[in-house]
């Protein structure tokens, strides 16, 4: 039997009001040990970029045929990377991709002329996060099978990245609580004082 290797997630509750535009915390972290997940990547690009995307390890590469598939309801991927020059075509898929968090976005590095580099980064452990409407950042930082030090280093990378993104308008305690949990277990709380000096 295959043992279910569940994800380890970090939940960071922040002292921000995400309804205020100037307190939106959004960023990118590259986990030193990756997420442990196989990330399925679709690259929507012009024909001259197809080889570059394939060489970087993209699972699906193309343009019009995949746009037609997505219009028909296919969203069997984890990340979609595209180029500014084809964004007009991709933008029409917003009502399908938006609710599934698959819409490419220049802020998260998924709308870029350098599609090969973007594929390499997401395959190598780059994650995109943003605070939700309750003030919590959720991120997947590895698998239960990872050694504790790898989980710790991945967690610290996320915490340090969030720390650097502290909005100047956020008052009071920034890190309210930090929890680690896996799909199959209760969460454990990390003492926020231990990260206060970051």
DSSP 14-32: ES--TTSGGG--EEEEE-T
- 8 Å CB contact between 115 and 43: yes
**Residue range 154-163: mean pLDDT, rounded:** 96
Q: Is 170 helix (H, G, I), strand (E, B) or coil?
A: coil
Q: Is 106 helix (H, G, I), strand (E, B) or coil?
A: helix
pLDDT band at 1 (very low <50, low <70, confident <90, very high): very low
Question: Is residue 34 pLDDT above 70, yes or no?
Answer: yes
The residues of the chain that CATH labels 3.40.50.790 are: 41-123
Of 111, 72, 74, nearest to 90 (Cα)? 111
The confidence score (pLDDT) of residue 2 equals: 45
Query: CA 133, CA 170: separation in Å to the nearest integer?
Result: 15
Query: CA 87, CA 28: separation in Å to the nearest integer?
Result: 21
CATH number assigned to the domain with residue range 7-37+125-195, chosen from the 4 options 2.60.40.290, 3.40.120.10, 3.30.190.20, 2.130.10.10: 3.30.190.20
The residues with which 189 forms a beta bridge, in sequence order, are 179
- 8 Å CB contact between 122 and 81: yes
- The secondary structure of residue 84, as a DSSP letter, is G
The residues of the chain that CATH labels 3.30.190.20 are: 7-37+125-195
User: Whole-number mean pLDDT of the chain?
Assistant: 92
Instruction: For the chain, report the end-to-end CA distance as a whole number of angstroms.
Output: 42
Question: Is residue 67 pLDDT above 60, yes or no?
Answer: yes
**CATH code that applies to domain 41-123:** 3.40.50.790
pTM of the model: 0.80
Query: CA 69, CA 158: separation in Å to the nearest integer?
Result: 34
């Amino acid at each position: 039997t295959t043992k279910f290797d569940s994800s380890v997630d970090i939940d960071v509750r922040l002292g921000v009001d995400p309804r205020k535009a100037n307190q939106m915390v959004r960023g990118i972290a590259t986990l030193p040990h990756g997420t442990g997940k196989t990330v399925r990547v679709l690259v929507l690009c012009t024909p001259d970029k197809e080889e570059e995307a394939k060489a970087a390890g993209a699972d699906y590469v193309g343009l019009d045929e995949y746009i037609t598939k997505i219009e028909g309801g296919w969203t069997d991927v984890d990340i979609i990377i595209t180029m500014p020059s084809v964004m007009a075509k991709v933008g029409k898929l917003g009502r399908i991709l938006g609710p599934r968090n698959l819409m490419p976005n220049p802020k998260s590095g998924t709308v870029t002329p350098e599609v090969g580099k973007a594929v390499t980064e997401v395959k190598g452990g780059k994650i995109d996060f943003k605070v939700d409407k309750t003030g919590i950042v959720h991120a997947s930082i590895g698998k239960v099978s990872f050694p504790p030090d790898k989980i710790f280093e991945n967690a610290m990378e996320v915490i340090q990245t969030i720390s650097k993104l502290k909005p100047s308008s956020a008052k009071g305690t920034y890190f309210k609580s930090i929890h680690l949990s896996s799909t199959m277990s209760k969460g454990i709380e990390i003492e926020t004082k231990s990260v206060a000096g970051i």
